[in-house]
Amino acid sequence: MPQSDPRTSTGTHEPLIRFDQVVKRFGSLTVLDRLDFTVAPGERVTLIGPSGSGKTTILRLLMTLEQVTSGVIWVGGEPLSHRYQGDRLVRANEKHQRRVRKQIGMVFQQFNLFPNMTVRQNITEGPIHSLGISREEADQRARELLEMVDLSDKIDAHPAHLSGGQQQRVAIARALAMRPKILLLDEVTSALDPELVTGVLDVLRTVAETTDITMLLVTHEMQFARDVSHRVLMFDHGRIVEEGPPEQIFGDPKEERTKAFLHAVL
Ligand code: ADP
């Protein structure tokens, strides 16, 4: 599916995401080890690698659910983990992080919908309260998004009355309603019964095909990763051991650790 490659189409873009020597430790455990990588605007990048290699931590750092131990994370040319004080970078406060984080939406493994709200309220409350758009406009956008995720008839349902796959499609619509530049997807089909996975992946294929949103995905769905990604990063012990276009990583991996990982999961 990757039509024009955002890394080569103009060549002049500043990265939308940049990890600069990022270290993340939990106690004595080093989860990310001086990690450097960038993601271009419009690029779709899949993170693969064994359990515990640090993939989810990368997404959680971008959502500011975790803080870096050292190094700097940049989003849209601005520091996220830090802020400027004069020309010096200092640790960002909550207010700064909240502002920069508005460019990012995330869909989690567990759908995390608000159980006491309808589908419509789940999708419109964020845009109304955080983006300050009118209820009418938020409602119109919710209808469009529900059409895209094929759930127009569930607009007034509560999450408890939806299947896991339907809840996850609402969660995708809710994330997109905030008009993020970046969508983070963390194993969004892992908690679903197998027969519900295809519907969610089809919705994400549509998002990839019809928008220019930048995506960072952690998934075990290797065929899906192959179809939608421009680039795959293979992680082990908090470092990138190999990266390349999906056809190369999946079809002709160079590193033994990539070969062993793919052998185990495919
Ligand atoms: P992956 O997504 O590749 O499976 P994670 O980023 O979830 O890996 O986790 C990397 C490592 O960090 C694991 O060893 C995990 O147990 C550890 N870890 C993650 N979050 C915490 C935390 N809040 N406290 C302590 N250890 C954590």
150-186 pLDDT, tens per residue? 999 999 999 999 999 999 999 999 999 999 999 999 9
CA distances from 60 to 68, 82, 116, 165, 238 (A): 10, 16, 25, 23, 14
List the structure tokens of 182. Answer: 């970046």
Residue 3 Cα to ligand 1 midpoint, Å, equals: 34
**Per-residue pLDDT tens for 96-149?**
999 999 999 999 998 889 999 999 999 999 999 999 999 999 999 999 999 999
How large a percentage of the chain has pLDDT more than 70? Answer: 95
Question: What is the rounded (10 degree) CA torsion for 89, 91, 97, 101?
Answer: 60
Phi and psi at 48, nearest 5°, equal: -125, 165
For the Cβ of 189 lying below 6 angstroms from any atom of ligand 1, the answer is no
What is the full DSSP assignment across 86-118? TTEEEE--HHHHHHHHTTEEEE-SS----TTS-
Q: Is 51 in the pocket of ligand 1 (CB under 6 A)?
A: yes
**Closest Cα to residue 80, out of 58, 107, 99, 65?**
99
Confidence of residue 2 (pLDDT cuts 50, 70, 90): low
| Residue 5 clears pLDDT 60, i.e. is over it | no
pTM: 0.93
pLDDT exceeds 70 at position 254: yes
pLDDT at 9 over 50: no
Query: Where are the alpha helices (H) located in the chain, listed in sequence order?
Result: 55-62, 94-101, 119-126, 135-148, 164-177, 194-210, 222-228, 246-251, 256-265
Confidence grade of residue 7 (pLDDT, cut at 50, 70, 90): very low
CA 69 – ligand 1 centroid, Å: 14
* pLDDT higher than 80, residue 10: no
Pocket test for ligand 1, best of 32, 51, 57 (most atoms within 8 A of CB): 57
Q: Indicate if ligand 1 lies below 6 Å from the C-beta of 219.
A: no
Q: Is 8 in the pocket of ligand 1 (CB under 6 A)?
A: no
> Mean pLDDT over residues 236-260, rounded?
97
Check if the interface score ipTM surpasses 0.95.
yes
Mean pLDDT score of the chain: 94
Cα radius of gyration rounded to whole Å, the chain: 19
Question: What are 81's two structure tokens?
Answer: 């983990």
Task: Convert the pLDDT of each residue in 193-232 to its tens digit.
Answer: 999 999 999 999 999 999 999 999 999 999 999 999 999 9
Task: Transcribe 156-185 into DSSP letters.
Answer: T--GGGS-HHHHHHHHHHHHHHT--SEEEE
Atom 15 in ligand 1: residue holding the nearest Cα: 52
The model's confidence at residue 1, banded by pLDDT at 50, 70 and 90, is: low
Which residue's CA lies nearest to atom 25 of ligand 1?
A: 26
For ligand 1, atom 27, name the residue with the nearest CA. 26
Residue 67 Cα to ligand 1 midpoint, Å, equals 13
Largest CA distance in the chain: 55
